Structure 1
């Protein structure tokens, strides 16, 4: 049986052990936290069956934020869950009712063909099934409280979910990325994740500090899975956020800023991975982190340019 009734589900997005959703089971009732893409829905329904629950037993789909690797399948999944309501941050909820802006933004990045291949058609969620979670909102799962708090930094519409039963947070992307391939004898290796649009380093630092104020025993990351030793990981994240900002500022104004920043981040993360004792060689480490390095560089550049306009 999963510890505290928390089931980790590999959504199958991009590669194995890259993107997780969670199923929390309490007294025969269920809540999903995040859901992956449309292509993930059969996997989530299979996990529900394996946990001994029917779709009608699910009361909640709680979204940490509406980036499509976390929420792209929400509309399709909700069609299978007749009694569930969707819980989202105030800035996120409107995009679940009308996903047109999500589609437009992602199509601009990926192109129509790639968007369709990765995500399919985004299905709206009826407004009457959407619950807007203000900071501190409590979701009641058969008497088990799941508390949502506002955690900007990765995105302004991000929330994390506190489960007092397990003394754990479902962190979405606020508490970084930790891939199991990079684990060593020291435990998990972690790095922050910025987003290309709304990365705010000071807000991310504050959100991490706020979560640590609850003295958590574990974090459930979307990318990927449960991690313990959270005090060490939080210190690592704080240090790296500062370092990423310094690297971005050093590359700003130079020729081909993006390429220089990708190179600087690659060198920095590789040095940290090697010091951590990650079992992969340098090329394999960079292969695992390639997509995230690119996105972090983009996020830092957007942050630099936004600060310049203020």
Structure 2
């Protein structure tokens, strides 16, 4: 699958659902946006703004007129999920933009969001574009318990604030599928492996574990990861969630132990960046950058916890 390619979610029950590789960070199979070809068509997640035309071209390929798009829904405002929302809204004039209400204003006036993103991602900022500010009249604020009505599909909204205080996930009961944002980790399909995501500065381990318990209770058959792609879990949801619990808990423990050993946070970041490895997936630069960012997030979490 190459950036810009559109694929059907080819899992029993997932009618009308497609995903496109957005080529995020010049890395294949890292960032996805989903298209629901519903009575009221929707895009779930919007990428970082760079290559937002891939999402628009996906609508064209699926025969969805841009004026027909009814909803652009983002799980949270981190720019790898919401950075393209303003561009898509500009091109799709009748689409409402569904954003977790606690942070929606940061997409209307994104300066602070941009500054925080630059601090978190470092030199990866070169892969971003400045987000297009959203008109607040286009925004529909959402929170836990809300629903997005798409006619023959519904997206139920569940709060999932462990990864970021402003994160939600979307559950489509008609497909028995959940759009997980970052609540269920990063799925690496080439390796059939789940990886941690713990960026600064909102990561909270206990909150992430609570989010996994929420997913257990909803009990979806399909997890649609933003990073990356759909995964059928009808026979092994518990195993998938337990694996991420272990990965995340052990990751935090390893950073904490290395901090005690080295007694220098920058040395801790350097250690995990230099030793990071993911053969067969992503690229070396992205692997190292991801490790460094996740390490900083854990270090901030440890400071707040203690």
8 Å Cα contact 2:30/2:282 also seen in 1: no
Q: How many residues align?
A: 290
Q: 1:208 aligns with which of 209, 212, 226?
A: 212
* 1:45 shift after superposition: 0.8
What is the CA–CA distance in structure 2 between the aligned matches of 1:101 and 1:217, rounded to whole Å?
A: 37
What is the CA–CA distance in structure 1 between the aligned matches of 2:267 and 2:259, rounded to whole Å?
A: 11
* 1:262 shift after superposition: 6.0
Superposed CA offset, 1:196-255 (max 9, x none): 111100000000110121111110111100112332210101112221232233233433
1:81 aligns with 2:123: no
8 Å Cα contact 1:247/1:264 also seen in 2: no
After TM superposition, list the pairs within 5 Å mapping 1:1-310 onto structure 2.
Answer: 2=9, 3-14=14-25, 15-27=27-39, 29-109=40-120, 115=125, 117-182=126-191, 188-229=192-233, 230-253=237-260, 254-260=262-268, 263=271, 280=279, 289-308=287-306
* 1:39 shift after superposition: 2.1
Let me know the Cα RMSD of the aligned residues: 2.5
* 1:304 shift after superposition: 1.1
What is the CA–CA distance in structure 2 between the aligned matches of 1:159 and 1:258, rounded to whole Å?
A: 32
8 Å Cα contact 1:262/1:293 also seen in 2: no
Unaligned runs of 5+ in 1: 183-187, 274-279
Partner of 1:276: none
Unaligned runs of 5+ in 2: 1-7
* TM-score where L is the length of structure 1: 0.85
8 Å Cα contact 2:199/2:295 also seen in 1: no
8 Å Cα contact 1:20/1:225 also seen in 2: yes
8 Å Cα contact 2:171/2:177 also seen in 1: yes
What is the CA–CA distance in structure 2 between the aligned matches of 1:120 and 1:257, rounded to whole Å?
A: 30
Q: Compared with structure 1, are the counterparts of its residues 153 and 265 closer, same or farther at alpha carbon in structure 2 (3 Å cutoff)?
A: farther
Q: Compared with structure 1, are the counterparts of its residues 114 and 294 closer, same or farther at alpha carbon in structure 2 (3 Å cutoff)?
A: closer
Q: Compared with structure 1, are the counterparts of its residues 81 and 105 closer, same or farther at alpha carbon in structure 2 (3 Å cutoff)?
A: same
Q: Compared with structure 1, are the counterparts of its residues 38 and 257 closer, same or farther at alpha carbon in structure 2 (3 Å cutoff)?
A: closer
Partner of 2:5: none
* 1:26 shift after superposition: 1.3
* 1:285 shift after superposition: 9.1
What is the CA–CA distance in structure 2 between the aligned matches of 1:234 and 1:32, rounded to whole Å?
A: 26
* TM-score where L is the length of structure 2: 0.86
